[in-house]
Amino acid sequence: MPVQIVDGVGIHYLETGGGAPTLCLIHGAGGNTLSWIRQLEGLADAARVVALDLPGHGESEGDGCRRIEDYARVVGGFISAAGLGRVVLGGHSMGGGIAQTVALEHPELLAGLVLVGTGARLRVLRRIFELLASDYAEGCAFVNAIGFGAAASQALKDGARVAMLGTRPEVTIGDFAACDAFDVMDRVGTIRLPALAICGEEDQLTPPKYAEFLAQKIPGARLLLVEKAGHFVQLEQPEIVNAGIREFLRYPFPPHPPQLGCPSPLLLSLEGRGRVRGEDKGEGGG
Ligand code: COA
123 Cα–ligand 1 center, Å: 6
CATH of region 3-277: 3.40.50.1820
Q: Which amino acid is at 61?
A: E
Report the nearest atom of ligand 1 relative to the CA of 179.
48
In sequence order, the 6+-apart residues with CB closer than 8 A to the CB of 21 are 47, 85, 86, 87, 88, 111, 112, 249, 253
In tens, the pLDDT along 169-210 reads 999 999 999 999 999 999 999 999 999 999 999 999 999 999
Residue 121 DSSP one-character state = B
Q: In whole angstroms, what is the distance from residue 230 CA to residue 204 CA?
A: 7
Asked if the model's pLDDT at residue 259 lies above 90, the reply is: no
Q: Is 38 exposed, middle or buried (0-12, 13-18, 19+ CB in 10 A)?
A: middle
Choose one of 121, 183, 214 to mutate for the ligand 1 pocket test, by most ligand atoms within 8 angstroms of C-beta: 121
What is the model's pTM?
0.92
For the stretch 71-88, pLDDT in tens is 999 999 999 999 999 999
Does the pLDDT of residue 267 top 50, yes or no? no
* pLDDT tens string 105-117: 999 999 999 999 9
Helix boundaries (H) for 82-153: 94-105, 126-134, 136-147
Sequence ranges of the domains in the chain = 3-277
Q: What is the CA(117)–ligand 1 centre distance, in A? A: 14
Atom of ligand 1 nearest to the CA of 94: 48
